[in-house]
Chain A
Amino acid sequence: MAAAESSWFPALALGVSLFKCLFISAYHSTDFEVHRNWLSITHSLPLDRWYHENTSEWTLDYPPLFAWFELALSQGARLVHPPMLLLQNLNYSSPAAVLYQRVTVILTDLLLIWGVRECCRCLQGQKGSRDVLNRPPFVLAVLLLWNFGLFIVDHIHFQYNGFLFGFLLLSVAKHMQGLHLQGALLFAVLLNLKHIYLYVAPAYGVYLLRSYCFPQDSADGSVRWRSFSLLRLMALGGIVLSVCFLSFGPFILMGQLPQVLSRLFPFKRGLCHAYWAPNVWALYNGLDKTLTLLGVRLELLQEAELPKASMTGGLVQEFQHTVLPSVTPPITLLCTVLSILPALVSLWRRPRSALRFLRCLLLCALGSFLFGWHVHEKAVLLAILPLSLLAVQSREDAGIFLLLSTTGHYSLFPLLFTPAELPIKVLLMLLFTLYSFSALTHLHRAPLLLPLETLYLVGLLLLALCCEVLFPLSPWGGRLPFLPLLASSLYCSLGVCYCFLRLYCSMLRGGAERPKQH
């Protein structure tokens, strides 16, 4: 902390990487087996079987570029521990296999570290306080590298999000530096690694089209149609299409595109995931449940006629609402489009600031999180991480960040349900939340939350205490195991919706785009 200024970044990165190594032997979820299975599929089967193989229930459902990535990883696995590559070895998790896969996550996180470094460079110009600890780049690096959600999802639960976020952050950084083609290339690669990033693709599309293909504005800032550059559009299109062709090409040539797409977009799953992600549909389901219970109590509904409602039964399945109309995929799609449309229009009108693009990207992520079909609670990270970039630059966003990160991270708690990991998730959450509160408050030199928001977070703390400590000890603990999940999910949805609205307000107002001057 007292050391020279240039050396803090490697120290932070090394520290977090070593810290990740400590949790190699911690609990890992079925996602570990998912990725092991993909290693074995890509290693032992020819290309045309990849998206047909179904020995394991965890079939390959990421885009082809990710499958190529797994193929590369399997080359290392063959040297280290070949038994993990056998297709029939279902649920294989020998210490060597765990070590290998965990280490690949930690090593591929180098890309995240690189992305964070680029983002910090973009902030370098601003003069901060003399103390390294209070400078925006330092705070940003900690918020991104030590992010609680990313840590537990990647390094305990097991996934490769860090490396994917590395691509996203790199691409955002390139856009901030005005290198739009590189940014577009990185994003195209990212899309072909994991298609969940389609959520934020509209923001990219509008931004690139408007600010790259129309290089000039008319005097009042509106689009000057005559400045359209076909060359730029072709360069952009060429990049995106060639990346897509590299990834999907072999499958298109083999005539397997429909099969691949059916794996990538499984609409047979239900509206909500096993635990309800804190979004609008959780509130909708909650309302339906409440109305049903009220109806039964007031004898407007016959209990015998109701379908067996097991909304959180743990299995992914379709679910019929009893009172409210049922929701189908097209409706969720429509809601999502409607929710992000104003943001896109606003970006189209005033596209010249990379920060407005970032804000639009955030709104797309949050909009599809709130209204999407079968949303996973982990998808909230897609909003929290980019929001860190805004939080170190504007006071208002810092407040929203605190609210959204605390709520969103708390909603990740059910991912780790084993008792041995309970202290870890509590300690790390405290660590991250305490840091973000004190660092951001100090950075902006002002209180960041409104009284009502503070009250909401205090309520969240009480809820957490009830759900994690009091409820399991109470007599209802055994009988209603889903009640805490339900309560957390509903309570968190309120917070996420509120953050969405506040972000929307600042986007439409168009203010707060100038970096805060110290």
Chain B
Amino acid sequence: MQTWSLVSLCVLLGLAVRWGVSLNSYSGAGTPPMFGDYEAQRHWQEVTYNLPVQEWYFNTTKNDLNYWGIDYPPLTAYHSLICAFVAKTINPEWVKLHKSRGYESPAHKLFMRATVLVADLLIYIPAVVLYCLYLTEGSSKKKVSTLLCFLLYPGLILVDYGHFQYNGVSLGFALWGVLALGLGWDALGSVAFCLALSYKQMELYHALPFFCYLLGKSVKLGLMGRGLYLFVRIALTVLVTFALCWLPFLSDPGQAMQVVRRIFPVARGLFEDKVANTWCSLSVLIKIRSILSSDSQMYLSFACTLLAVLPSCVRLLMKPTFWQFKLALANSSLAFFLFSYQVHEKSILLAALPACLLLNDLPLMAIWFLHASTFSMLPLFLKDGLLVPFAVTSLGFLYFSIYLLSALERCSEEELRLGGYHKLLFWLPKLDLAWIVRWKFYVSVSVMAGLSIATVALVPPPHLPDLFPVLVSITSFSHFLGTFIYFNIVQFSEPPSRKSQKKNN
């Protein structure tokens, strides 16, 4: 069959799976008074539609910031405004100021789900298709297989279409940025990334690689002459894009400051709930939050994050190639997730995107990490009543990505790029690392499956009510840490040679 029909089939299948998940429950369904993220998004429509721009981020009589006040950058607010206009024409009840709080109905759910699908269809999915067709190597069948796996990554589907958020928009913009950089359109790429950053501040996880790649490229072209021209052009583009996005808030410095205060809520502590990062996992052993003051917690996490990002960014600056860029994206987002301040469990999606980019190059490792990332959000999905879609999509993804990308056949030491480990472990006798990796993969998948079943089926002992969520987050943390180390080592080892790539295809 022709490539275009295979691509359309993949996209249709991806859409059908998304809509299938969206038939399920959402976060905070029928749980007053605060409900969940679904109500937050609806509330933002209400606020942006009824209040002037100046009041969006301020606590006023009409805008109670304690009830799901907007805490994302302006582009999210504009998006809510557009959705609100559509909602208003369908049913004014949905966005009526104050009266619509906690509004829930099947028709409204349908509308909200449809807005996610439309956003995905406009931004995320085209970017994925173009990335897979133009920036992955191999035969057209291989590209289509990668596309299908990319589109079916369950974490994003479950958070956006189950739990309810618009991660597809910010990740989609970031992906457009990656795509443009990969195709050599640096200015366009930076525009796309600025849009991503103005949609969700969490995109900062990806900011350093973008910056280092572009800077490194300019330096390589020569700091005087073409490089400087490129750098100035990109800088101007970035400034203009940001200025346009933030225009309504720039007239008054107080406005802009308030937005920044809202989107970086430093008062919320080192971490919340059970998140699979260093601080939460460490707190099982040491109660950092009670030992250190809030300020020193912040400095500590800042320092750790910086330290963790530094190697991969320096490497990227020295060698600004697309391969290094993809790895640096993964490393930087993982470093942020593992060490930074106030991390949510859903932020792992930001690390999942670069892992999806590596699906074709390092299939087994990418699949393994993506599976673990979905698993790390299990407690969240259980709370939202998404057990069946979680089980179905994760199983499907695991099976089909391994099958389609022949991940378990393509795992010789060379293909897994384990050369770096040999250099590090030189004092040990020569081990068959590929064999070890494969067995670790089997064991880890069984552990994750076992823990999922235990979480669902068993009642935790009364004195340890959080036993299973903690186990889930520690298990996931160990996976994330391992992946972080692995990707760093890969980034510092030799780039893949053309010959071995040809052989893989």
Contacts and interface: CB of A to CB of B under 8 A. Distances in A.
Interface of A: 1-3, 7, 11, 14-15, 18-19, 21-26, 99, 133-134, 419-420, 423-424, 427-428, 430-431, 434-435, 438-439, 442
Contacts of A1: 141, 144-145, 404
Nearest to B19: A423
A430 B144 CA distance: 18
Interface string B370-391: 0000000000000000001101
B404 A428 contact: no
Contacts of B12: 427, 430-431, 434
18 contacts: A2-B141, A2-B404, A7-B403, A11-B400, A18-B395, A19-B396, A22-B21, A23-B23, A25-B23, A133-B141, A419-B110, A427-B12, A427-B15, A431-B9, A434-B12, A435-B5, A435-B9, A442-B2
Please classify the interface of chain B as helix (H, G, I), strand (E, B), loop, or mixed, using the class held by over half of its residues: helix
Interface string B9-45: 1001101110111011000000000000000000000
B405 to A, nearest CB: 8
Contacts of B388: 21-22, 24-25, 99
A2 B405 CA distance: 7
A22 B1 contact: no
Given A23-B23, A431-B13, A438 B5 contact: yes
B59 interface: no
Contacts of A438: 1-2, 5
A98 B456 CA distance: 19
B145 A25 contact: no
A434 B4 CA distance: 11
B20 A424 contact: yes
A434 B8 contact: yes
Contacts of B467: none
Given A1-B404, A3-B406, 15 more contacts: A3-B403, A11-B403, A18-B392, A19-B396, A21-B388, A22-B20, A22-B389, A23-B23, A25-B24, A423-B117, A427-B12, A427-B16, A434-B9, A435-B9, A439-B1
Task: Name the residue among B2, B114, B396, B404 with the largest chain A CB count within 10 angstroms.
Answer: B396
B400 A420 contact: no
Given A3-B406, A22-B389, A15 B117 contact: no
Interface residues of B, number: 38
B399 A14 contact: yes
Given A21-B392, A420-B23, A438-B1, A2 B110 contact: no
B400 A15 contact: yes
A112 B139 CA distance: 34
Contacts of B424: none
A23 B391 CA distance: 13
A435 B8 CA distance: 9
Contacts of A434: 5, 8-9, 12
Contact of A2 (B8, B24, B114, B142): B142
A428 B5 CA distance: 15
B13 A419 contact: no
A95 to B, nearest CB: 9
Nearest to B4: A438
Nearest to A99: B388
A430 B5 CA distance: 11
A199 B87 CA distance: 50
Contacts of B142: 2
B465 interface: no
Nearest to B394: A18
Contact of B17 (A14, A22, A419): A22
Query: Which 10 pairs between the two chains have the least Cβ-Cβ distance?
Result: A22-B20, A438-B5, A431-B12, A18-B396, A21-B392, A427-B16, A423-B19, A1-B141, A438-B1, A18-B392
Contact of B19 (A11, A24, A424, A439): A424
A439 B5 CA distance: 9
Contacts of A7: 403
B430 to A, nearest CB: 31
Interface string B441-477: 0000000000000000000000000000000000000
Nearest to A418: B106
A134 B392 CA distance: 28
A434 B393 CA distance: 24
Task: Name the residue among A22, A420, A428 with the largest chain B CB count within 10 angstroms.
Answer: A22
Contacts of A442: 1-2
Given A22-B389, A427-B12, A2 B145 contact: yes
A159 to B, nearest CB: 19
A25 B388 CA distance: 9
A428 B13 CA distance: 8
Contacts of A2: 139, 141-142, 145, 404, 406
A428 B20 CA distance: 11
Contacts of B106: 420
B107 interface: yes
Contacts of B389: 22
Nearest to A437: B5
Nearest to B505: A2
A7 B403 CA distance: 9
Contacts of A22: 17, 20-21, 23, 388-389, 392-393
Contacts of B395: 18
Nearest to B405: A2
A19 B20 contact: yes
A23 B5 CA distance: 25
A477 B228 CA distance: 63
A439 B403 CA distance: 21
Nearest to B142: A2
B161 to A, nearest CB: 11
Contacts of B8: 434
B205 to A, nearest CB: 30
A23 B19 CA distance: 9
B27 to A, nearest CB: 16
A290 B395 CA distance: 55
Nearest to A11: B403
Given A15-B400, A439-B1, A428 B16 contact: yes
A24 B21 CA distance: 10
A3 B114 CA distance: 35
B141 to A, nearest CB: 5
Contacts of B406: 2-3
Nearest to A7: B403
Contact of A431 (B16, B117, B404): B16
Interface in B102-159: 106-107, 109-110, 114, 117, 139, 141-142, 144-145
A18 B403 CA distance: 15
A15 B9 CA distance: 14
B392 to A, nearest CB: 4
Contacts of B20: 19, 22-23, 26, 424
A18 B9 CA distance: 17
A438 B2 CA distance: 8
A112 B352 CA distance: 37
Contacts of B24: 25
Contacts of A420: 23, 106, 109-110
Contacts of B144: 1
Contacts of B109: 420
A227 to B, nearest CB: 48
Nearest to A18: B396
Contacts of B16: 19, 424, 427-428, 431
Interface string B327-364: 00000000000000000000000000000000000000
Interface in B393-448: 393, 395-396, 399-400, 403-404, 406
Nearest to A134: B1
B240 to A, nearest CB: 38
B461 to A, nearest CB: 26
A133 B6 CA distance: 10
A7 B389 CA distance: 25
A435 B10 CA distance: 11
A397 B236 CA distance: 62
Contacts of A18: 392, 395-396
A259 B5 CA distance: 54
